[in-house]
Amino acid sequence: MPSDTATGSVPANAPSRQESNSAPSSESPPNAPSGETPPNAPSGALPTYLRIAEDLTIDIGGGRLAPGQRLPPERQMAASRGVAVATLRKGLKLLVDRGLIERRQGSGNYILGGSPNVGTYALFRLQLKGVGGGLPTAQLLDFRTAKKPADLPIIGDADTGVRIRRLRYLAETPVAVEEIWLDLRWYDAAGLTPHSISESLYRTYGDRLGLHIREAEDVISAAALPDWTPHDLGLPPGHQVGFVERCAYDQHGCPCEASWTWFDPSRAQYYARVP
């Protein structure tokens, strides 16, 4: 199980909410570049257009937006999300490129359907219980170098690794805490800091490290919440919850990341679609 033995700390300062927020106040002001992350967005937040694309990708992959269904008019969609029409269209273009929607001139945007295994969160397996989906976001709790736990899968030769702890949200609802480990060589190679990681760690790995997660092995069970569980999760340390142990593999088929995720089964569920 996870260890608290630290060998060197990288201060995270105050925990930062790496989040998606659909409220108008968090979107780009009129003079901001269309579709980009607004200046006042939390550290690590994805660009607004990408958050829109990922939110819709999750709903299409989960079947909540069915093939043949027509999306609302673009101006209506933009207004409901508090964004400019140009920002929305940039997100929709990404869905066209992914083969998930079709834009019909003079008619609108229609769902083509698609696999849940596409997009930034293709390997993210938690969804809101009962309703499904929910755009994943995160609050960074701790970032440091530490001695690897004895039961950590082999993800590199160093005895020390980078340990990241986060509180996870789905559609702004806190649902899980997670502890992620990388081998120390990745920290040394890219100079990772609390402010350089995105709310999507896999996106950070690809952009900063050239490390692309291609597949993962998950083992699902139950476990007690760790003693560092924040109050915001709404459950106390020691409470029994769902538990996911993951070993992720890079583009060369080598194990490169290990993680533990404790999730509240009253709010979230683990979801996987088998072909």
Q: Which of 225, 21, 19, 27 is nearest to 139 (CA)?
A: 19
Q: What is the pLDDT of residues 136-194, one digit of tens each?
A: 999 999 999 999 999 999 999 999 999 999 999 999 999 999 999 999 988 876 668 88
Residue 252 DSSP label: T
- What pLDDT score does 36 carry? 52
At residue 222 the predicted structure's pLDDT band, cuts being 50, 70 and 90, is very high
Entry pTM = 0.77
Q: Which CATH class is domain 47-111?
A: mainly alpha
- Give CATH superfamily name and number for 6-13+120-270: Chorismate lyase-like (3.40.1410.10)
Q: What is the pLDDT of residues 10-60, one digit of tens each?
A: 444 434 455 333 333 333 333 334 455 444 445 577 899 999 998 898 888
Query: For residue 147, what are the CA distances in angstroms to 11, 169, 189, 214?
Result: 16, 28, 18, 26
The domain segmentation of the chain, as residue ranges, is 6-13+120-270, 47-111
- What pLDDT score does 136 carry? 93
- What pLDDT score does 40 carry? 45
Overall average pLDDT of the 217-243 stretch: 98
Q: Which residue has the higher pLDDT, 8 or 251?
A: 251
